[in-house]
Structure formats: structure tokens, C-alpha cells
Amino acid sequence: MAQQTAAEHAAQNQTSPNVAEPEYPSLHLSGFGDFGFAHQNRSEGARGFNEGQFVLHLSSSLSPRVNFFGELSLSTRADAGTGNPPATGFNAEVERSIIRFDQSDRLKVSFGRYHTPVNWWNTSFHHGQWLQTTISRPEMTQFGGRFIPVHFAGALVEGAFPAGGWNLNYKAGIGNGRGTVISRAGDAGDNNASPAWVLNLFAKPDRAFGLQAGGSLYFDKITLANGREFRERIVAGHAVWQKEDPEVIAEIASVHHRDVGDSRATSNLAYYIQTAYRLPSLGRLWKPYYRFEHIDIATASPVFQGVLNLDGSIVGVRYDPSLFAAIKGEVRVRRRPRTSGWFLQVSFTF
């Protein structure tokens, strides 16, 4: 089969002298999917079997220096069939839509809807459940969560400098910031006159291949549905050891709000640390993991009203029966109030 494919390619080369030159636009389509099962003592999300997200990823080179990236998700709805007209079974969402102009490794400019580069997890795994070791995302970066702004609509400048083997990377962006519903981005426009700013810096040193460490700053003005306005400042940091023996991910974020009206301020903190280890030799298909996470919300926070404090642990194992599919099982114990449960997931890319 491999020989046949090689022969086909050789023949293709002979008949097409320009095979080395790419054609534009060149669209590539890939996707992610997952199915899960949940058993919980107290309902915090779906119970029983559930279809996760069906995610399509599109990438297309429009020229050697211009590329488009898109991510579409279809998520099941708990209210399917209710209302008038009846709600559909799935919710469609344009998660990311980015057009990027590449000048060089040091300068790339893009426009669109992103996952905000204020958090490592948020910009590393997106909606690809198969990519992440665990079943669940950390609570601080949960989709639909409010702690950090998950999405960002605007423009981004990014690049990388070798810097003597330190490999310094930067991302600087301006955008609409949070919408009136603060878990959502201002996709249709900014709800106030102050844009959001984000700056993300990190290093990937050659001498410690596998390590990435960095931090982010994010500034915005939030306008709530009741008209109250707050200045938001997020300071975040991350350190990640990306090899699998072991894998260590640690992130911390401090979210500070100051009421524009009376200058009262609140601070909120969240962090998590996750470790995993790909077993050697015969056990290499197995990867046990553990994560501890903590969220501390200021009692008087008007912006995060209803967001619960959290101390939680998850322990689980990932099994990779194929290069492109994984089966994960994990137990979660949380204190907020106390909940516990066990979860199974099959995730894959295609």
C-alpha cells in the first residue's frame, strides 16, 4: 500500500512539473469530537451519556504570507425542542475566525475572533478535547465561564525572536473585550468606548527544551447589563513542561475590578497545577494524571456575582488505543458545596 502510494506520487511528479508549487487557496479541513459519560452525586452539568462538541477546523493558505484559520463548534442543547420556535438540538458557534498576514517570524498581524491569549490552556487546546490530557478544562478557563474572558474579537500582532536560544515570543492585541454578558466577547461591537488590551510574553528556551514560561496582562472596561461599569485588570502567569515524562502545567491569574462610579475594588484569584506521566515501554499507551485547582472570589465582587469559590481535585488516566483517539476516565472531588463524580470520555481527531 505504501509502495503504491509512493508510486502514485512519483507518477504525479513526472506528469506535473509544478508539483512543488502550492496552489491557492489551499483548504484543509480537520475536526475533533468526543462522547462522554458522567456519574455525579449532585448534578453539575450533564449526567449519563452525553455527546460532547463536534468541532470543525479549517485552515487555508490564501498566498505564501496570508492564511485563514476557522473553528466551528456544534454543541448539544439541554433545552432542545422547547420554546417557540422549538430550540434546535445543537448550538452552532464560530469559535475562532482569523485572517493572518505573515511578514516574518518576528511580525505577524491578524484580525478576527480569537481565544484570548491571557491563559495558556485557553490558547493551547481550544475546543480539541483530544489534545488535552484530561477530560475537563480547569474551572478558571471553562467555556461559558466568567473568570477570564475566553474569547477576544479584534486585532493581534505577534512574533518570535531567537534571543540567543531563549526564543522570546510576544502577542499584543486590541479588541472589544467582554460583552454585556461577561462570559461572551463583544462580537457585534464594543459595548463601551474603551477597547480591551492584551499583552502576552513567553519564552521557550533551547537549553530546557519542553519548557514554556510566561505571563500576560489584560486591561478592559466592563459595562454590565445594569449599566454599572468597572475597570478590569488581569495579571496571569504560566509555567509548562510539555514533555510527557512528566507533563506539568501550572497557571495563576489575578482578576482585579474597580468600580468606575465609586472606585471600590475587588480582587479575585485562581490557579491550578496539573501533572501527568506517560508510562514507559509497554505501558506507554497509559498516562495517569492529577490536577488541583483553586478559585477565590471576593465576597463583594459585583462582576463575579454567582461565581463560586472552588477547591477541587481530579485524578484520572488517559489511554491512547490509536494515534488519533483517546479514552479517559477521571474522578472529581470538589468543595463548593461538596460534589463528587466519575467521568468517562472518548475523544478523537479526524
Partner 1 sequence: MLRHTRHTNRPTLLLIGCLLLARPAAVSTMQSAGDIAVVVNADVPVDNLTLGELRRLLLGDREFWPSSTRVTLLIRAPVARERDIVLRNVCQMTEAQFRQHWIAKVFRAEAPSAPRIVYSGEMAMDIASRNSGAITFVEASQVTKGLKVVKIDGRLPGEKGYLLR
What the block records as the C-alpha cell of 193 is 468606548
Rounded to a whole number of angstroms, the minimum distance from the CB of residue 178 to partner 1 is 22
What the block records as the C-alpha cell of 229 is 461599569
Scanning 24-32, 179-187, 288-296, 311-319 for contacts with partner 1 by CB under 8 A, the matching segment is 24-32
Choice between 288 and 302, CB closer to partner 1: 288
Q: How far apart are CA 137 and CA 213, in angstroms?
A: 20
Q: How far apart are CA 309 and CA 290, in angstroms?
A: 20
Rounded to a whole number of angstroms, the minimum distance from the CB of residue 156 to partner 1 is 10
Does residue 104 interact with partner 1 by CB under 8 A? yes
Does residue 16 interact with partner 1 by CB under 8 A? no
235-to-117, 118, 159, 179, 290 alpha-carbon distances in Å? 12, 8, 21, 20, 25
Q: How far apart are CA 322 and CA 328, in angstroms?
A: 13
286-345: contacts with partner 1 (CB under 8 A): 320, 323
Among positions 44, 46, 51, 61, the unique one binding partner 1 when judged by CB under 8 A: 61
Among positions 1, 15, 20, 188, the unique one binding partner 1 when judged by CB under 8 A: 20
The SS3 of residue 141 is helix
Q: How far apart are CA 171 and CA 247, in angstroms?
A: 25
The SS3 of residue 37 is strand
264-293: contacts with partner 1 (CB under 8 A): 284
Q: How far apart are CA 215 and CA 293, in angstroms?
A: 19
Among positions 11, 16, 30, 333, the unique one binding partner 1 when judged by CB under 8 A: 30
Choice between 28 and 263, CB closer to partner 1: 28
Fill in the per-residue mask, 236 to 265: x = in contact with partner 1 (CB under 8 A), - = not in contact.
-------xx---------------------
Does residue 151 interact with partner 1 by CB under 8 A? no
Q: How far apart are CA 87 and CA 76, in angstroms?
A: 11
Choice between 221 and 278, CB closer to partner 1: 278
Among positions 52, 128, 154, 312, the unique one binding partner 1 when judged by CB under 8 A: 128
Does residue 346 interact with partner 1 by CB under 8 A? no
Among positions 86, 162, 246, 261, the unique one binding partner 1 when judged by CB under 8 A: 162
Rounded to a whole number of angstroms, the minimum distance from the CB of residue 207 to partner 1 is 8
195-214: contacts with partner 1 (CB under 8 A): 204, 206, 209-210
Does residue 69 interact with partner 1 by CB under 8 A? yes
Does residue 109 interact with partner 1 by CB under 8 A? no
3-state percent breakdown (helix, strand, coil) of the chain, nearest 5: 10, 55, 35
Q: What values do phi and psi take at 306, rounded to 5?
A: 95, -15
Angle, CA 219 vertex, CA 254 and CA 251 arms, to 5°:
30
Among positions 13, 43, 88, 305, the unique one binding partner 1 when judged by CB under 8 A: 13
Q: Closest by alpha carbon to 146, among 183, 104, 100?
A: 183
Q: Residues 6 or more apart from 298 whose CB is under 8 A from it?
A: 266, 267, 268, 304
What the block records as the C-alpha cell of 141 is 478557563
Q: Residues 6 or more apart from 322 whose CB is under 8 A from it?
A: none
Which residues in this chain contact partner 1 in the complex, by CB under 8 A?
2, 5-6, 9-10, 13, 19-21, 26, 28, 30, 32, 57, 59-61, 64-65, 67, 69, 71, 96, 98, 100, 102, 104-105, 123-126, 128, 131, 160, 162, 165, 167, 204, 206, 209-210, 243-244, 284, 320, 323, 349
